[in-house]
């Protein structure tokens, strides 16, 4: 059963790699970058779940939660369209299929990586929350950065910080958490000073990046005090 659940989750993730890549091929240039980027995020989900990387289950569930929120927001605006029901339901399926202790044994429940990073159950739980929230925040951040807007080099700063932060987080480095916090702060500052309506994608990206740091906030403060 776990193998079947894993295979179905991979199939759904792979479908969305194809879906966004197909739309990116025919979309106007101002939209194609964002669509290719979302396709790449789902591709990472396919690889990480398929290869059983310890963080793959968390990351893929984060993508699933992102899909659920997008579906609900669009239903609120457009109504109960069939496509939106399929979109939200399939992303919810990814989150559900990869849930539970039985599935965790194939990923974050393994002892090898826990021993490598010297993590106890509390540390694993904190890391899981952070990775899931980071996985949920990345699509919003990419949409905020890559969708049409006045050309600003500074808008790439949150994306670079978030990318470095996720890498550092998966390597259990303190600077990874600081980079994620910096990405949240940089996004918030840009939203505050930007003219015109505030993009919802940017707001959600900033909040979720901050939420990704939150599980480690107290241990991070204690460690910085020790230094």
Q: How many residues are listed for the chain in this entry?
A: 227
Q: Is the pTM of this model over 0.85?
A: yes
Task: Please tell me the distance from the alpha carbon of residue 203 to that of residue 209, in angstroms, as a whole number.
Answer: 10
Residue 194: per-residue pLDDT? 76
Residue-wise pLDDT tens digits, 53-65: 999 999 999 999 9
Residue 97: per-residue pLDDT? 95
Residue 156: per-residue pLDDT? 80
Name 158's Cβ contacts closer than 8 Å, sequence gap at least 6.
141, 144, 145, 183, 184, 186, 187, 190, 205, 209
Residue-wise pLDDT tens digits, 129-178: 999 999 999 999 999 888 766 545 567 888 899 999 999 999 988 889 89
Sign of CA dihedral 77, 80, 84, 90: positive
Residue 152: per-residue pLDDT? 55
Has domain 112-227 been given CATH number 1.10.760? no
- H-helix segments, the chain: 2-26, 29-50, 56-78, 82-97, 101-104, 111-117, 121-146, 157-170, 174-193, 200-213, 217-226
Residue-wise pLDDT tens digits, 88-101: 999 999 999 999 98
Query: Where do the structural domains in the chain lie, given as residue ranges?
Result: 1-109, 112-227
CB 1 within 8 A of CB 13: no
Largest CA distance in the chain: 55
């Amino acid at each position: 059963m776990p193998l079947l659940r894993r295979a179905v989750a991979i199939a759904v993730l792979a479908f969305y790699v194809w879906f966004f890549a197909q739309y990116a091929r025919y979309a106007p240039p101002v939209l194609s970058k964002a669509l290719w980027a979302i396709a790449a995020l789902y591709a990472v989900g396919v690889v990480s779940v398929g290869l059983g990387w310890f963080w793959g289950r968390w990351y893929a569930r984060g993508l699933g939660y992102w899909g659920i929120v997008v579906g609900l927001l669009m239903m609120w605006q457009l109504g109960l369209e069939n496509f939106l029901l399929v979109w939200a339901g399939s992303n919810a399926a990814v989150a559900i299929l990869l849930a539970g202790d039985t599935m965790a044994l194939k990923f974050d429940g393994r002892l090898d990586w826990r021993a490598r990073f010297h993590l106890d159950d509390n540390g694993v739980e904190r890391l899981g929350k952070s990775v899931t929230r980071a996985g949920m925040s990345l699509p919003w951040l990419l949409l905020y950065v890559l969708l049409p807007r006045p050309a600003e080099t500074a808008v790439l700063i949150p994306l670079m910080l978030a990318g470095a932060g996720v890498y550092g987080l998966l390597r259990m480095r303190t600077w990874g958490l600081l980079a994620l916090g910096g990405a949240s702060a940089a996004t918030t500052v840009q939203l505050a000073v930007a003219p015109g309506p505030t993009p919802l994608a940017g707001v959600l990206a900033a909040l979720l990046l901050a939420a990704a740091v939150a599980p480690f906030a107290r241990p991070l403060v204690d460690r910085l005090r020790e230094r």
